[in-house]
Amino acid sequence: MRLRHRLALLAAAPILALATGCTNPFTPATPEKPPPGDIVIPVYSSTDALLSTIASAMSSRGASGRIAYQDALADSTGADTHAFYAFHPPTVVDAWRLETGLTPPDTWTKPLEMKCYDYLGQLDPGFTYIFTWAPDDQSGLDPPPTDTDAMVHRHYSLVAKSADGNTVKSIAIGYADLYMQKVGARWYLYRWEDRIDATYAANNPDDVDAVCMGRRRLNSTSGGL
Amino acid sequence: MPRPTRLTLLLVPLTVSVLTQALPGRAQQAPSVRFAFADTTLLRDTLGLSFVRLFPVADSLQITPDTLRALMIRYRFPMSRILFLADSIGVTVDSVGPFMDRQKLNPLAGGTAGRTTNTFTYTSGYDIQRTSNTWTNGSQYRLQRGQLYLTNATNIELQRILSGSVTSLRQNREATTEAGLTVSKQLSFGARSYQLRFFSADPGAPTQDENKSEYGFTSRALAGGKRLSSELNVRSGYLDDNSVAVIKRGFSGSLDGRVRYNNPNVLTHDLSGSVNGNLSHSRPPTYPAEISTNDLSTNLRGNLVVLPNSPVRLNVNYGLRNTRVETPLDTTHVNRILTRNNSADGTLRLRVDNDRYLDLSGDVNRSRSLTNSSTDGGARAVLRWSLIGWSVDASYGDSRGTQVFFRQRATGGYDENDLNRAADATLARNFGPRIIGRIVLSIGLDRFRYVAWADSATPPTPRDAYRQSYRTEMNYNPSERLSSRIALQVSLNRTINIAAATTGSNTDTRSYRSEWSWTYRLMHSLTVTQNNQIQADYLQYPFRPTNNTLSLSYNNNTSLSAALPGNLSIDVSHTASQAPRGSYTIQPDGLNSLQLSDETQNYALTSSVRYAPFSGLSIHVDPRYTTSDRSGTSNGVQAHQRTDKRLDFTGGVDVNLHVGAKGLLTGRVGRTYTDQRTIGYTNNLPVPTPRSETDYWNGNLQLTWNL
């Protein structure tokens, strides 16, 4: 009987040691303080939340926005998971090739997209960016989503607004067919098929900055040309 | 920050429950402390099997009760039978069923060599769901006449999957036939044919069409002694595999064996291994010339138990598995895929009896595939003891691992280093004959760190996840007609990103939950049960307090169960759930107070009527009506957002019938009807959407015939 009590005490010893001053093995790390500026809180639990996070990240231009945008894009780690690709309108690619004499990248991957994100953020320093999604009235209904895949048609607009609010410039405007995949409990964007908003271009012929994201992406590889 | 005064609200149902429990009643034997809080729905009788002692038996086998129950149902083995077989065969409980299935076509199994047997089993099944149907047909034939034997196993599965207006097909047909001679009760030789046809047509993927044939020789050998027994199976022959991706022709072979040493008082050691492979000439279907390829798979598993019946016992498991698959890409290049999985674990048990022991265990695992490799290992201590009237279960585990992600498409890879630590303790005891108390404590930390190989790598952000909780429960059983339980649970979950760019989304979630449930038998065949739950989740952003929110939920479920004469049972249940949610805003008076932003209310009325006119047939009707209302805040004004109403009606028949002396018909057939309408609101005006209605048959039936 005494042996059993000793065994019990022996087993309880580590618990007592933990309680009486040894280093707590469950202490989490101390996080760094976030940088000043807008903080984007990423939520990827639904397709709507994913698109909302992308909009916030594009509007933010801060470090947390960059991380949120990077994490929103798919990054294939296995045979069953997609990698992110963007596709530009063919007419935009042809026009850019003619204007710059450069060859566009074969495929638009996640690293190129993140370079484009940095490029967009430097276009209008001092201005506040506003990215919005809107329904796409040029395409049909979105196909019904499954539990793990969804595709939506959206109109997008990225504008820069001056601090006094008097100047509003368009940075990118167009349509996108967005393909999303759910892996585990979260959604990723794995395909952005870009389309031109011809109606806006026709109504605003003098707005040379009213280009689509595809053009902005290509511009980011040529130093803004 | 939550104010302590708010928590006093959670004490209201606890107080009410305590005050209402002073009912007179006959004393009854209190249930066992350790299993008093177990999920007793697992004990309901199914298919004539009894699950008495399910919890203690599962506990002693170190598997979960629902796993043991599922194994019994799947193979239709009573508990005593599955335990006896596991013991006599020398395998774990979850391997009994597959082992028995495998032995059905073994000419040396069961000592039937030399005798005359002739058995035939045919199984046909049809499974229909809303978007798919599957028809399966299978047969097993075994003939033993003197020294000659003939076996055949055939399986055909035809599946149709409907997605929108597109139908996908998946068809699998395979047959294995073997004929030979049992030279003795320990040795047989034979010839074997294996045929496979797999076809898959899916509009979203390339069509798969494979024809595979194998013809060869087989040999089986058994050797058994008092302590040492072994078996060896050899197969070799010609392979012809013709698929959309590759055409392979050549020599294939396999060898598998098992050695078991059993000295009951000293040690038992089971060692099994297999080698499969082929040497082939292969080519893609579009190329005329062939190149040499070879596939190889090796698998070695072992289990060593030292001093199995002594107070100090050691159990070691190990496994080594390697595969190599070669596929020609053209006439000169071969795509070689290598995978490797090696693992070992050991447990040292210091045991006084089943209620007092200490387990010290450790494990090491290493794997490698085309896209990543991982190495991990850990240690764990589990203590079960009885101490001054308390039953104590405690554990502590610590594991670390490294996963290497090889990135493709010219981007860099990265390493993920993770650490997982967890400790928990459960203390339970009787407080007199009618009250059982339990305290559950747990704490855990998961840590993820990343090392990028190149600037182009995009690893996830380094982070920690911390959790702690405690729960107190009390069961009160004043009589066999009444039982009641109260519980209070408090938990903290923290998501901690380390890098400055991501710490804005760090969260601390503090949850407080109070539960009260009671069961009262109103009459001999009528029982009422009620569960009440209140929960508050304080979601706090340490670096962005303006985003802090509070979610509350009130849940109530009341059910009436009637067991009427004539095998008729009726269950009626009502569920109500209310979940307001809001954020904290600083008011003009400077106080940080809660402002509700949205609210969800769900109600459900469910009933279930079951009638079993005779054993093997059950008719059931299950209607369910649910409503859901959601309101939110728009421009500072709370308004209706959405209303959902839904009716589900399911009815059907469950069968488990003998057809003649040799047949068995099992399964269920039913019809499901669903009617749903959603009303959205614009400017507080209802905008109904079209009604959605579905109505379809579903179920599966399986007929098994033995000759």
DSSP, res A45: S
CB atoms near residue B405 (< 10 Å): 20
Separation of alpha carbons B109 and B220, rounded Å: 10
Those of residues 553-592 in B touching chain A at CB distance below 8 A are none
What 3-state DSSP class applies to B72?
A: helix
Contact A31 B460 (CB under 8 A): no
Taking contacts as CB-CB distances below 8 angstroms, the residues of chain B near A31 are: 496-498, 503, 506, 542-543
Tokens of residue A176, six digits? 């996108």
Report whether B176 contacts B152 (CB < 8 A).
yes
* Nearest C-alpha in B relative to A70: B458
Contact A32 B498 (CB under 8 A): yes
Nearest-CA distance A132 → chain B (Å): 19
Report whether B605 contacts B646 (CB < 8 A).
no
Q: Please tell me which of the candidates A71, A78, A107 has its beta carbon nearest to residue B371.
A: A78
Nearest-CA distance A203 → chain B (Å): 31
Listed in sequence order, the DSSP H helices in chain A are 2-19, 47-60, 63-72, 90-100, 110-121, 198-203, 213-221
| Amino acid at site B290 | E
Of the candidates A29, A16, A30, A60, the residue with the CA atom closest to the CA atom of residue A42: A60
* Nearest C-alpha in B relative to A144: B164
Query: Would an 8 Å CB–CB cutoff place B505 in contact with chain A?
Result: yes
* Nearest C-alpha in B relative to A34: B500
Contact B547 A41 (CB under 8 A): yes
Of the candidates A51, A57, A25, the residue with the CA atom closest to the CA atom of residue A154: A51
Contact A28 B358 (CB under 8 A): no
The count of residues in chain A is: 225
Separation of alpha carbons B177 and B151, rounded Å: 6
Provide CB contacts within 8 A for B634, sequence distance 6+: none
SS3 of B248-290: EEEEEEEEEEEEEEEECCCEEEEEEEEEEEEEEEEECCCCCCC
Separation of alpha carbons B707 and B695, rounded Å: 39
Establish, for the pair of chains A and B, how many residue pairs have beta carbons separated by less than 8 Å: 104
Annotate B142-169 with b (16+ C-beta within 10 A) or e (fewer).
bbbeeeebbbbbbebbbbeeeeeeeebe
| Amino acid at site B255 | L
DSSP, res A73: B
Burial of B319 (0-12, 13-18, 19+ CB in 10 A): middle
Distances (CA, A) of B139 to A217, B74, B135, B195: 61, 18, 14, 15
Nearest-CA distance A221 → chain B (Å): 16
Separation of alpha carbons B306 and B271, rounded Å: 14
Nearest-CA distance B537 → chain A (Å): 18
Query: Would an 8 Å CB–CB cutoff place B196 in contact with chain A?
Result: no
Report whether B123 contacts B159 (CB < 8 A).
no
β-sheet bridge partners, residue B705: B122, B663
Tokens of residue A189, six digits? 């964007």
What number is the average pLDDT over the span A93-98? Answer: 89
pTM: 0.75
Tokens of residue A91, six digits? 């007419």
Contact B499 A110 (CB under 8 A): no
Burial of A144 (0-12, 13-18, 19+ CB in 10 A): exposed
* Nearest C-alpha in B relative to A53: B505
Q: Can you tell me which residue has the tokens 């005494």?
A: A2
Query: Would an 8 Å CB–CB cutoff place B398 in contact with chain A?
Result: yes
Report whether B657 contacts B616 (CB < 8 A).
yes
Taking contacts as CB-CB distances below 8 angstroms, the residues of chain A near B458 are: 70, 75, 110-111, 114
Of the candidates B597, B611, B681, the residue with the CA atom closest to the CA atom of residue B642: B681
Separation of alpha carbons B538 and B509, rounded Å: 5
* Nearest C-alpha in B relative to A84: B409
What 3-state DSSP class applies to B501?
A: helix
Instruction: List the single range of A17-26, A93-102, B381-390, B651-660 with lowest mean pLDDT.
Output: A17-26
Contact A63 B500 (CB under 8 A): yes
Separation of alpha carbons B315 and B349, rounded Å: 8
Q: What is the mean pLDDT of chain A?
A: 83
| Amino acid at site A54 | I
SS3 of B601-663: EEEEEEEEEEEEEECCEEEEEEEEEEEEEEEEEECCEEEEEEEEEEEEEEEEEEEEEEECCCE
Q: Please tell me which of the candidates A14, A62, A75 has its beta carbon nearest to residue B458.
A: A75
Contact B387 A25 (CB under 8 A): no
Separation of alpha carbons B677 and B695, rounded Å: 15
Separation of alpha carbons A117 and B210, rounded Å: 47
Encode pLDDT of A106-135 as tens digits: 889 888 999 899 899 888 888 889 999 988
Nearest-CA distance A155 → chain B (Å): 22
What pLDDT does residue B3 have? 47
| Amino acid at site B309 | N
Report whether B223 contacts B186 (CB < 8 A).
yes
What pLDDT does residue B407 have? 67
What pLDDT does residue B53 have? 81
Question: Which residue of A15, A23, A26, A48 to mutate against B (max B Cβ within 10 Å)?
Answer: A26
Cα end-to-end span (Å), chain A: 86
Separation of alpha carbons B68 and B92, rounded Å: 11
Of all helices (H) and strands (E), which one includes residue A183? strand A168-183
The 3-state DSSP composition of chain B as helix, strand, coil percent (nearest 5) reads 10, 70, 20
Question: Which residue of A1, A39, A66, A84 to mutate against B (max B Cβ within 10 Å)?
Answer: A39
| Amino acid at site A109 | T
A149, HSE (Cβ side, Cα atoms, 13 Å): 7
SS3 of B187-229: EEEEEEEEEEEEEEECCCCCCEEEEEEEEEEEEEEEEECCCEE
Tokens of residue B178, six digits? 């073997």
Taking contacts as CB-CB distances below 8 angstroms, the residues of chain A near B544 are: 39, 41
Burial of A210 (0-12, 13-18, 19+ CB in 10 A): buried
Query: Would an 8 Å CB–CB cutoff place B285 in contact with chain A?
Result: no
* Nearest C-alpha in B relative to A18: B423
Encode pLDDT of B627-668 as tens digits: 999 988 766 677 888 899 999 999 999 988 888 888 889 888
What 3-state DSSP class applies to B543?
A: coil
Provide CB contacts within 8 A for B484, sequence distance 6+: B17, B21, B475, B476, B477, B516, B517, B518, B519
| Amino acid at site B388 | I
Burial of B630 (0-12, 13-18, 19+ CB in 10 A): middle
Instruction: Flag residues of chain B having pLDDT under 70.
Output: 1-48, 110-114, 407-411, 586, 634-636
Which ipTM did the prediction report? 0.71
Nearest-CA distance B355 → chain A (Å): 12
Separation of alpha carbons B296 and B291, rounded Å: 17
Q: Please tell me which of the candidates B352, B405, B456 has its beta carbon nearest to residue A4.
A: B352
Separation of alpha carbons A96 and A98, rounded Å: 5
Those of residues 368-387 in B touching chain A at CB distance below 8 A are 371-372, 381, 383, 385, 387
Contact A26 B421 (CB under 8 A): yes
Helix axes A63-72, A110-121, angle to 10 degrees: 150
Q: Can you tell me which residue has the tokens 């309108």?
A: A89
Nearest-CA distance A51 → chain B (Å): 17
In B310-434, DSSP assigns E strands to: 312-328, 334-353, 356-368, 372-387, 390-405, 414-431
Separation of alpha carbons B503 and B498, rounded Å: 6
Separation of alpha carbons B621 and A204, rounded Å: 64
Contact A26 B409 (CB under 8 A): no
Burial of B353 (0-12, 13-18, 19+ CB in 10 A): exposed
Look at A208 and B687; give whichever has higher pLDDT: B687
Distances (CA, A) of B274 to B133, B192, B193, B366: 36, 18, 20, 20
Separation of alpha carbons B419 and B400, rounded Å: 4
Tokens of residue B440, six digits? 């559950």
What pLDDT does residue B40 have? 63
Contact B411 A67 (CB under 8 A): no
